[in-house]
Structure 1
């Protein structure tokens, strides 16, 4: 990940004066090394000592794959520049509401630029990490149902209506269990000799007559959170698109460390990505992120996945059918947001 992305706050690159001073110093080290050292100095808890059975020990945090750590300058910025002006992000009737709404919009556009989203891609903030982002995709695709109704719904589906979802051999539970609990048929692809997704096995399944007339989607981890093996997402995208399947990738593990360029209009582009910003440096407390091509949104003629404040243009007090929801995906999938 480019270093300047670590310093982006609310849609702009906010560089604290202390960092500028550090880079201007006469001591040795490249500007990049100075930026990294300054960033380390901002980690909250960096010099913390705690009691152990061996006496006091310096805290060494080694679980960044599970969650990032808070950064002092970000927390100070939020405390001093964001929270004093906090208001409802669905309104411009007050100065606080207008400012908060603008900051949310700027943050969304900043993230869109960082991941190479095109105008046809929607960016949706979703609850808790990539888990919520994956679940939201299932909801807007129309394949998420309550567990107690799942069997009945599947029984009443025509085979050609039921989605087929291909997953890899090292998926996080959030990119496996929720698909299994949807009404899609899940096909697990094995591992090859190099520890990667078996591309030959995937192509055999994609080309199978069994799935030829059904909607298809591949949802693969971009990087294993156990071994650190990085998947060839471009090759997977090309293969999936060759057989008319959508290409979706879980960047929860590798998001803080790799460049992400959706290029959803291209053969090797991504149709959806899932992010867990809480795993980024300074990210704790942030929501999950779903970026998806509009073609995956199947609720155009239906109410949004969550109905409530901020997504509706008109409410009839007598007839739910006359309710008018916003057309824009990002607006209609943003009910009741709190910042």
Structure 2
């Protein structure tokens, strides 16, 4: 895989920032968009723009075909059994909220348990807090190991027969931890619980098979996998989705409407009230085509090699602290540079054209576990290279010297 050749497919990366060629290392927040995705969205608006599922005219038919075709691509991409089990959403946050509202609040009772981890993004924490408050359920946490991983022994001891939901990120957006989802799913199911997976950080980087993992719900965001912002998807097992009530009501999701009652459409449309995110779905379909042409295995191999290189390069800087596991980890490095505040680090890096993230990364409980208020994070993707990492490391050395 030629990262430099792939970089040429992303127009935004061909620019200078503050007089320096852009090095974009904020991919865990959002990825850049290849020309193929930009052109697909542009082509939709120029040729096919119409509402879906309604008009019998040519534009309406073409828009519907493109929208439902994108759903088929998502189903294939994560190996869902059927496209009707793919619900288009605004992103991972919306998808997780649908499960917390449409499933958890309907099924949980006082004394039931929801099990999560301290490494969760707020999007996979606050919905469960609210569901617990609304139902009287108890929120429990699987403890973290010193390196930011979880042990299956701790999962076994935390999940009990009272546990109804286990929800967990596949890959931590701070630690880079890759959680053993298939094994956790077996423990959850053995205790009669379902498992919900936050796949925001995993779907763009490694091959996901929801059937092999045996997950009950899986959420993903398009903008983290080269697609436009504002589009994502929720996968659910058919029997669970069919039991759930919709969380949004209005046009498109109905079957029959009477003056005092209504009935809902079948899956997946009962969860997609109103005009859907058509152009976003078209862009997501184009992004999947782009990623599949490269190959998820090739992306995974490239990122693993580059992550090891980044860990070695940054670890050699005196005074740096790197968080998360040292070996099996995803393509990001979260760190602090001595006593220099992460926001200052990110600001100085930006003056040299290097984009990283600084802050709590929507993981405040995890920051408290790490005993820090914030960190800096460099996250890589398919268009990053060793040259990018070299520039980051060199700039960090200069940043450290500047503040000393």
Q: Which TM-score band (shorter chain)?
A: 0.7 to 0.9
User: Quick check: 2:115–2:163 contact (8 Å CA) kept in 1?
Assistant: no
In the TM superposition, 1:149-298 aligns within 5 A as 159=110, 163-182=112-131, 183=134, 184-193=137-146, 195-207=148-160, 212=161, 214=162, 216-263=164-211, 268-281=213-226, 283-297=227-241
Deviation at 1:158, TM superposition (A): 5.2
Relative to 1, partners in 2 of residues 1:272 and 1:58: Cα closer, same or farther, differing over 3 Å?
same
Deviation sequence 1:209-230 (CA, Å, 0-9, x none): xxx3x46111101111112111
Kindly report the root-mean-square deviation, in angstroms, between the aligned alpha carbons of the 2 structures.
2.4
Shift of 1:120: 9.2
Kindly indicate whether the alpha-carbon contact (under 8 Å) linking 2:148 and 2:175 is maintained by their aligned counterparts in 1.
Answer: no
- Say whether residues 1:330 and 2:268 are aligned partners: yes
Other structure's SS at 1:307 match: coil
Q: 1:81 Cα deviation (Å)?
A: 4.7
Q: Distance in 2 between matches of 1:142 and 1:292?
A: 13
The verdict on how the C-alpha distance between 1:106 and 1:261 changes in structure 2, with shifts beyond 3 A counting, is same
State the 1:231 CA deviation: 0.7
| Structure 2: segments with no counterpart, 5+ residues | 279-404
**Pairing 1:94–2:57 present:** yes
How far, CA to CA, are the matches of 1:50 and 1:309 in structure 2?
45
Residue 244 (structure 1) shift:
1.2
Cα–Cα, structure 1 residues 134 and 115, in superposed 2: closer, same or farther, change >3 Å?
same
C-alpha spacing 1:236/1:120, structure 2 compared with 1 (3 Å)? farther
**Corresponding residue SS for 1:143:** helix
Write out aligned runs for 1:99-118 (5 A).
99-118=62-81
Equivalent-residue separation in structure 2 for 1:141 and 1:279 (angstroms): 26
Deviations 1:74-127 (Å, cap 9, x if unpaired)? 212321355421110131422111111111111101110110111497111112
Look up the match of 1:43: 10
**TM-superposed deviation, 1:200:** 2.1
Alignment-derived partner of residue 306 in structure 1: 248
Structure with higher helix content: 2
| 1:139 counterpart SS class | helix
Instruction: Give how far 1:262 is off.
Output: 0.7
Residues 231 and 277, structure 2, Cα contact 8 Å, conserved in 1? no
CA contact (8 A) 2:163 2:191 kept: no
Q: Distance in 2 between matches of 1:244 and 1:270?
A: 13
8 Å Cα contact 2:166/2:188 also seen in 1: yes
Is the contact made by 1:166 and 1:189 (CA closer than 8 Å) also made in structure 2?
yes
Counterpart-to-counterpart distance in 2, 1:101 and 1:121: 15
Alignment partners' CA distance in 2, 1:116 and 1:314: 32
Aligned 8 A contact 2:71 2:83 in 1: no
| Gaps in structure 1 of 5+ consecutive residues | 1-31, 145-153
Matches within 5 A, 1:19-34: 32-33=1-2
Write the distance in 2 (CA, Å) between the matches of 1:158 and 1:77.
46
Q: CA deviation at 1:239?
A: 1.1
Residues 83/285 of structure 1: CA separation in 2 closer, same or farther (3 Å cut): farther
**Inter-partner Cα distance in structure 2 for 1:75 and 1:158:** 46
Following the alignment from structure 1 to structure 2, what is the Cα–Cα distance between the partners of residues 239 and 142? 19
Matched residue, 2:47: 84
Whether the 8 Å contact between 1:48 and 1:58 is mirrored in structure 2 is yes
Number of equivalent positions:
273
Cα distance in structure 2, aligned partners of 1:106 and 1:287: 15
Displacement of 1:324 in angstroms is 2.4
Closer, same or farther in 2 for the Cα pair 1:223/1:158, shift >3 Å?
closer
1:272, 1:291 within 8 Å by CA — same for their partners in 2?
yes
For the 8 Å contact 1:130–1:275, the answer to whether it is kept is yes
